Amino acid sequence: MSRSSHLFTSESVSEGHPDKVCDRISDEIVDAFFRLGPELGWDPAHLRVAAETLATTNRVVIAGETRGPAAITKDLLCHLARLAIRDIGYEQDGFHWDTADIAVHLHAQSVDIAAGVDASGNKDEGAGDQGIMFGYACRETPELMPAPIYYAHKILYDLAQARKSGREPLLGPDAKSQVTVAYENGVAKRAAQIVLSTQHADGLSSADVRKIVEPYIVAALPAGWVDESTVWHVNPTGKFVIGGPDGDAGLTGRKIIVDTYGGAAPHGGGAFSGKDPTKVDRSAAYAARYLAKNVVAAGLADRATIQLAYAIGVSDPLAVYVNLHGTGKVEEGKLEVALREVMRLSPRGIREHLQLNRPIYARTSAYGHFGRIPDAEGGFSWEKLDLVDALKTAVGA
């Protein structure tokens, strides 16, 4: 039984964090295939990308498997990686968009995997791997996300916007936040502890950095959440001049809890970035969030966790599990049946329903894949609330 009054903490990392630099580069590669592939005559359903990135001091290594037009060359992908690094803001001696050594080691997708995934004859498109994926939604924020991770993301996003706009030129790209939320009678009430570590220009003290960041942090949180009892930890090591991949090596896919629900809900284990939507690690996690959010928005529960399970090469999910955490207005078993009725949960069904074969992935690589606003280009389509009426009808609500 969960406690109604407690503390819960989630962390976020900025787009300049070494692992997030790698996520961004990997997702730029996915976007390149979905942007250029159709222009070069490829059916988007036939494109495949699984790109992993390593970054360290002035060096980037990209490896993995792809299927697509030969015109998407290694030189082009190197160029796109440099543009991503420049957009993040790295023009430092130890990591610079123009001088970094970038190596690309992408090769053709395994024919054995392709045989299981590709549609052929009467066989539908199969899942790109086995695994379990979770979606979650709750009423703690208007975006139906857990409060700790939502506000940890918002703090870093707002600081990044201030840095990139030129309002705060003394801040660097690499940063981490952590918010400990005090819950009273099950309701998120205030920030008990705030941690912010941010890369900065040489010569600033922790006190100097706090003067810069504190107004943004207070503005990012709900009114009244910061009070005299809130404990602050701003750059607690005292100095954070060397950052990004120069300070710590980065890898794609190492921030899966940051990417999802901040530990407030289960995670299946598979990372998202660098993967095309035949990889259910990504697409089915998006579908599970989409379903959970619509369940809560429909008033069928105040909290919802949905698990989907897949086998490689098999189209339909092996199982659908729903947990409404004692807040449901409908039987969970009935809802499990209804979810399959309102949305086809095969890789093809998810891809087509959410329109995932588009260049929409680089924008997901930092500040969370969930709790974002759907955009005009199709990004974050899994955050839409267009299943509410269908769900109510399916369960007779």
DSSP element (H, E) containing 297: helix 280-297
Which is the catalytic residue, given 63, 119, 162, 249? 249
Which is the catalytic residue, given 275, 293, 351, 353? 275
Which is the catalytic residue, given 87, 124, 208, 248? 248
Three-state SS at 282:
helix
Which is the catalytic residue, given 67, 82, 255, 351? 255
Sequence-ordered list of residues with C-beta below 8 angstroms from that of 88, at least 6 positions apart, any chain: 15, 16, 21, 24, 173
**Active-site residue, 19 included:** yes
Instruction: Say what angle helices 388-395 and 280-297 make with each other, to 10 degrees.
Output: 70
Which is the catalytic residue, given 45, 59, 63, 65? 65
Amino acid identity of residue 59, one-letter, is R
Residue 288: burial class (beta carbons within 10 Å; 0-12, 13-18, 19+): buried
Which is the catalytic residue, given 11, 15, 125, 281? 281
Sequence-ordered list of residues with C-beta below 8 angstroms from that of 384, at least 6 positions apart, any chain: 290, 374
Which is the catalytic residue, given 15, 20, 147, 271? 20
**Active-site residue, 376 included:** no
Cα three-residue angle 376-372-258, rounded to 5 degrees: 140
**Active-site residue, 249 included:** yes
**Active-site residue, 275 included:** yes
Which is the catalytic residue, given 8, 11, 15, 19? 19
**Active-site residue, 282 included:** no
For 91, the token pair is 């023009």
Please state, in angstroms and rounded to a whole number, the distance separating the CA atoms of residues 174 and 160: 9
The sign one gets for the Cα dihedral 180, 183, 188, 189 is negative
For 21, the token pair is 């630099």
Which is the catalytic residue, given 279, 282, 293, 351? 279
**Active-site residue, 65 included:** yes
**Active-site residue, 293 included:** no
Which is the catalytic residue, given 67, 153, 163, 254? 254
**Active-site residue, 386 included:** no
Which is the catalytic residue, given 67, 176, 289, 358? 176
Which is the catalytic residue, given 11, 17, 33, 370? 17
Q: Read off φ and ψ for residue 23, nearest 5 degrees.
A: -60, -45
**Active-site residue, 248 included:** yes
Which is the catalytic residue, given 95, 240, 370, 380? 240
Which is the catalytic residue, given 15, 31, 52, 174? 52
DSSP element (H, E) containing 215: helix 206-220
Instruction: Say what angle helices 332-342 and 388-395 make with each other, to 10 degrees.
Output: 130
Cα three-residue angle 339-341-342, rounded to 5 degrees: 70
Please state, in angstroms and rounded to a whole number, the distance separating the CA atoms of residues 347 and 368: 22
Positions marked active-site: 17, 19-20, 52, 65, 176, 240, 248-249, 254-255, 275, 279, 281
